[in-house]
Structure 1
Amino acid sequence: MTVSARTVPEATPETPPRTAPRPAPQAEEPEPDPGPRSRGADARALTQVLFKEFVTLTPGTAEHTRVRAALIEANLPLVRYAAARFRSRNEPMEDVVQVGTIGLINAIDRFDPDRGVQFPTFAMPTVVGEIKRYFRDNVRTVHVPRRLHELWVQVNGASEDLTVLHGRTPTTAEIAERLRIPEEEVLACIEAGRSYHATSLEAAQEGDGLPGLLDRLGYEDPALAGVEHRDLVRHLLVQLPEREQRILLLRYYSNLTQSQISAELGVSQMHVSRLLSRSFARLRSANRIDA
């Protein structure tokens, strides 16, 4: 009795042996973002470590400069956070951050870790104060009402949009129509916007070729103080007799002496002296100011 058995075909180069499929490689999961809170905590921890080293170093040394620069770099996000509060002032943010960095450097130089105060709490008023001082001293030359300042921001934005839309500078009427406000308010906002930049008195006027504003400003005339007195004297002189008027004019306007006046009028010097005394008495009695 014969038993037939299944024969397994031999493997050939055309039919490679079956192998288990390899699992597909899994994509690496990205590391989660630590988030601003975690980054802030890391910056505070780094700041504490750096300050422990900073207070032990001698100012002016290379190591002191290195640690100071590291403290500045670690706390720049604090400056950017403070500068973002002034974004509506329409000043370049780079300039505001630079000014705030000056306040940060001042805070680093004055900070004492032994007081038990966190450095951001200590530094924030200094940074904000430096930025406010910059806007107070270098930005606006004339204080404008808050409502007008906020409206000027809208006028400036509308002007830029209309310039892009029409390819030219928009008129006051177009800006007023876009913002639905009177043209007078647009003009007032434009004038308020000019308070950011002061014009030098010595700067020449563009286009007209005229001298600077300083050359066209008036000056205090010392003769103005005598205008009232001259008017009073003129009013009093007309009340004197003609001969006494002439004697006063010869004496105080022509600067003649009494002897020269006597020769001019053909009278004695003594008589000229008496006429002068009588004229002064009349003028004093008629002087409404002394009265």
Structure 2
Amino acid sequence: MPRIDEREPLEDLDAAADAYSTALAGADDPARRRLRDEFVGQALPLARRLARRYRGRGELVDDLEQVARLGLVKTVDRYDPERGSFTAYAIVTITGEIKRHFRNHTWGVHVPRSMQDLSLEIARVTNEMTTRLARRPTAEEIAEHLGVDPQEVRRAQTSAAAHSPSSLNAPIGDASGTELGDLFGGGDPALGMVEDAATLQRLLCRLPVRERRMLALRFYGNLSQAEIAEKLGISQMHVSRLLSRALSWLREAMLSDTPPIWTGGDQADHRLRMAVTYDKEAVVACVHGEVDRDNADHLRGELLTAIGDCDRGRGLIIDLAGVPLLGAAGIAVLVAVHEAARVRAVAVRVVGLQPFVAQIVKMSGLRDMLES
């Protein structure tokens, strides 16, 4: 069938539809088929114009015209002269067929029908307003033109990204044959251990200081059992028994909802204690026990009070000889005391550190507080 120029004058399809309905009433089957074909051919330019409105949206114009012609045939077959204008009915039916085609065949991901229709309207209005305004319209301007909420426009624009999703098998453009999916990283195998690490950290706080220190020296300090025994002043066999007992308890606790009771010894000796003495030259604070996050605030308050007592040029001496293990909370206490003493111009020295604690303090940048 020859293509009809869209620049030809618009045909009066309403009058043609009335004539078609009148002629159809008294015709036999062969004549009815001939009249139907002639009327469909007469209305084809309308279907073509409606299809051309949706060009440039990822579908071939020829395919859209085929869909429009199918809608035109449905319009002719269903048209009832008693129900109004043929042209209006044809526009609604053909446009509906084209939109249905976009919904069913061009969206790569399921999007609600109302959002699909709105996305198509936004695309059409955006093209029209871009031509008129010589710039891309804002969501507020599009919403005002369509009479919808700007938030709905933004949501529809976001949904439009699901229209043609990229394939993970698409080549990235080089000669290596690499596909888009190859650029995505794999899962981190250590990610599943985060929860176990957090649980282990809480369980370690339940162990006595000696056991905790031994585990730190063995698995973080990479010391052998003989080296640990030398530091603690016990036999290597005793270190082996203590490590085995601590690891067995941790293993059982990791597999239980309720941690078992530690039966390896009394933990009362690990409670924090501090004694303060005064002389003419300094205030001496002797700390005993483990400094952890549960008692760090109390120790901070006691040491800040001791700084306040340093008058007439007296300094502060912090004796940590009785502290076998100093955690991050204890380091934070020393940092706070150092800053407070600097503001008050009070000299602070830390003495009596055990080797393991001294190493932690030095690595924390508090070397100036240590006794020279």
Q: Give the TM bin, normalised by the shorter chain.
A: 0.3 to 0.5
With CA pairs under 8 Å and 6+ residues apart, which has the higher RCO, 1 or 2?
1
TM-score when scaled to structure 2?
0.37
Structure with greater proportional strand content: 2
* Structure whose CA Rg is larger: 1
Give the TM-score normalised by the residue count of structure 1.
0.46
